[in-house]
Amino acid sequence: MGLAAIILLALAKENSKMFGTRALLGCGGSLFLISILISEINFILLPAAVYIILSIKIKISHKSRLAISYFIVLASTAIALLVIMNRGTVKTSKSICKEIVTIGLDSSLCGGAIQALALNVKDAFASNVDRYPRYFFYFFLLAWALIPVLTSEWIKSNRTMFLVVLCFVAPLFVVASDYGRWIFMFNIQLVICMLASGLTQNIFSRVRVSRLIVFLFLFSIPHSNIQVEETIFGPIQSVMAYIGSIPEISRVFR
């Protein structure tokens, strides 16, 4: 939902009609605040939201853009703090799990986000530490994902924006184990900001065939809790998945 809100804001920037711009801006801003209320993780998309709003320079005055940006920052911060202060507990986690089992669903659904409700920051940090050194592999994936951004024209004039986004996302790598998701949310923010800025020269020309092949080979790597063997056999699984899909793809074009 957070990304949908960011896309609406980006559409507002590209819209040529005043009413359409304001409508998209209002919908995007409202959806962004609602997304934080649903999941506080969406708060880390705040830099991209503000960046896009401030880049709408034709149809809305500078004063209005600043006012909207301040409101989004203050409102989203207040909502995020409200959600964090009223986070779940061990009792909440057990209660949800019990309800899941009662309605006949598999108890494995009690893991993930539901199980995380029972963790405090100290426990979450300790859990992350236990996942190293195998989790270092994700930083290789992060570096690979950032190559088009770090070699673009945009980064030359937006290093501060890059650091702001990094500061918003970095804490998640300390207390949350879904590294694949955080890498995606970090990178997608930067790409959206690049597209919104108009400085998109050479973005796609820098995506070399070799990098694309590596990406395709890494597609089966899990977004969290990676195991040592998966860094080796994950690429093989990706290739096998592509080969297995060939018959299905061929039927579509018959």
Q: Residue 6: its pLDDT value, please?
A: 84
DSSP secondary structure code for residue 180 in this structure: H
DSSP code string of 77-133: HHHHHHHHHT---HHHHHHHHHHHHHTT--GGGGSTHHHHTT--HHHHHHHHHTTTT
Please tell me the least confidently modeled range out of 35-39, 58-62, 140-144, 218-222. 218-222
How many CA atoms lie less than 13 Å away from 71 in the CB half-sphere?
A: 13
Q: Which residue has the higher pLDDT, 224 or 63?
A: 63
Q: Do residues 39 and 176 touch, judged by C-beta distance below 8 A?
A: no
CA–CA dist 72, 146 (Å, integer): 27
CA–CA dist 101, 99 (Å, integer): 5
Per residue, the 3-state secondary structure of 42-63, as one string, reads: HHHHHHHHHHHHHCCCCCCCHH
Residue 147 has pLDDT above 50, yes or no: yes
pLDDT in tens, 170-208: 888 888 878 888 888 898 888 888 887 776 555 554 555
pLDDT band at 250 (very low <50, low <70, confident <90, very high): very low
The three-class DSSP label of residue 177 is: coil
Q: Residue 163: its pLDDT value, please?
A: 92
pLDDT in tens, 79-112: 888 877 777 666 777 777 777 778 877 776 676 6
Residue 8 has pLDDT above 60, yes or no: yes
Q: Residue 74: its pLDDT value, please?
A: 92
**pTM (two decimals):** 0.73
DSSP code string of 139-168: HHHHHHHHHHHHTSSHHHH-HHHHHHHHHH
What radius of gyration do the chain's Cα atoms show?
21
Average pLDDT, the chain: 75
Kindly report the length of the chain: 254
DSSP secondary structure code for residue 134 in this structure: G
- One-letter amino acid at 168 equals F
Structure tokens at 81: 């703090």
Please state, in angstroms and as integers, the Cα–Cα distance from residue 252 to each residue in 173, 239, 248, following that order. 41, 20, 7
Query: What percent of the chain has a predicted confidence (pLDDT) above 90?
Result: 4
Q: Residue 37: its pLDDT value, please?
A: 83
Structure tokens at 66: 């600043």
Q: Do residues 234 and 218 touch, judged by C-beta distance below 8 A?
A: yes
pLDDT in tens, 223-239: 666 665 555 555 555 55
Q: Residue 63: its pLDDT value, please?
A: 83
Please tell me the least confidently modeled range out of 4-18, 155-169, 227-241. 227-241
